Amino acid sequence: MKNKKGFELSFGWLFSIIVGIAFISAAIYISTKVLDTSRDFQSAEDAKQIGVLLNPLETGIESSKSGVITFSTNTRTYFSCDNIGYFGNQGIGISSESSVGEEWRRPSVMSKFKGKYIFSGNYVEGEKMAVFVKPFYMPYKIADVMYAFSENEVFCFVDSPNYVEKDFSSLGIKGINISSNGECPRNSTTVCFSKTGCDIDVNPELRTVRKYKKTIYYAEDDNYALLYAAIFSEPGMYECQLKRLMKRNAALADIYLSKALSLSSRGCNSNLESEMVMYSNSTSKFNNTIEIRNVKDMSDEIKRRNDALNCKLF
């Protein structure tokens, strides 16, 4: 017959075990939460720092600038774009590779910037992030547009026009390969200007860029800022950022309209008031990248008339 008495556990032991388990569970839960919060806080602080670090890259009278942001560990920099409010927002979030918990924890809070326009993929991964900046004019300066990609990435430009070669040779960015014979390094992203079937196909005559099976439109501005924007960014990001740029363009058109009225009351009539009103209306309603062609035509006309003025608006 089996012994049914079993092991006797005193109340004191039972109580200690239950309370001990509760304490240890609570400690694990709290330390995990504290760790997550501290990672979120660090990521928000780093993202804000990236925003501040990008400020010196903004151009004054220069036509372009470039730089490299170096992280201490392998880092993902997330970029987002929204069109909320008058100017929309550029979001920047940071996530560092971690051996505790999730390897890549997506930032819960993105730092928002109203005056920045970063054209990139949804995130850039690596210890070094290459950034170059170009001022975007249409017809006056609207903003500095930034292009970001990982230094581990290689973009191979095949049969690119002279201005592209000249731009990249003066910027000296690592990861940009100009190929004249059509040969590109393995695993590079190919950008073709005269043929199709590459990762990114540019048609300079139609002013279109085909990427991820999507066609987006650009306009040839003074610094080819929109061409590079279309090449280096994800199509959804390009469309969103272009809408934000047009919102800023509309706000600037209103400022130049006020300036035109102020100058005319002081004896210098520009006769550009009605054009600025039309330009502001057209850019504020911008909804599709193909509309950039119409905006460019209006901008060229305003530029032509402004250049002929004695007291120029811009």
Partner 1 sequence: MLLTANYSKKAQFKVQEMAFTVVAIIIFFGIGAVFLLLIVSDNLNSQVELQRAEEAKEIVRKIAVSPELAFTEKGCDSCLDMDKALALKNSEKYDDFWDLEYLKIITIYPNKSGECTKDNFPECQSITLIGEDEQDFGITQGTYVSLCRYEFKVLGYYRCELGKVMASGRNL
Binding region for partner 1 (CB under 8 A): 11-12, 15-16, 19, 23, 41, 45, 48, 51-52, 55-56, 58-61, 86-87, 113-115, 140-143, 248, 251-252, 254-256, 258-259, 262-263, 266-268, 310-312, 314
Residue 81 or 209: which CB sits closer to partner 1? 81
CB atoms under 10 Å from CB of 106, counted, come to 12
**Cis peptide upstream of residue 56 (ω within 30 degrees of 0):** no
The answer to whether 125 and 150 are in contact (CB under 8 A) is yes
Supply the minimum distance, in Å, between the C-beta of residue 52 and partner 1: 6
Residue 16 or 288: which CB sits closer to partner 1? 16
Phi, psi of 181 (to 5 degrees): -100, 5
Supply the minimum distance, in Å, between the C-beta of residue 62 and partner 1: 9
208-211 and 200-203: which strand pairing?
antiparallel
Distance of alpha carbon 160 from alpha carbon 252, whole angstroms: 33
Supply the minimum distance, in Å, between the C-beta of residue 38 and partner 1: 9
Distance of alpha carbon 117 from alpha carbon 297, whole angstroms: 23
Residue 240 or 257: which CB sits closer to partner 1? 257
Q: What residues form DSSP beta bridges with 156?
A: 177, 190
Residue 42 or 288: which CB sits closer to partner 1? 42
The answer to whether 279 and 253 are in contact (CB under 8 A) is yes
Residue 142 or 184: which CB sits closer to partner 1? 142
Supply the minimum distance, in Å, between the C-beta of residue 59 and partner 1: 7
Supply the minimum distance, in Å, between the C-beta of residue 183 and partner 1: 41
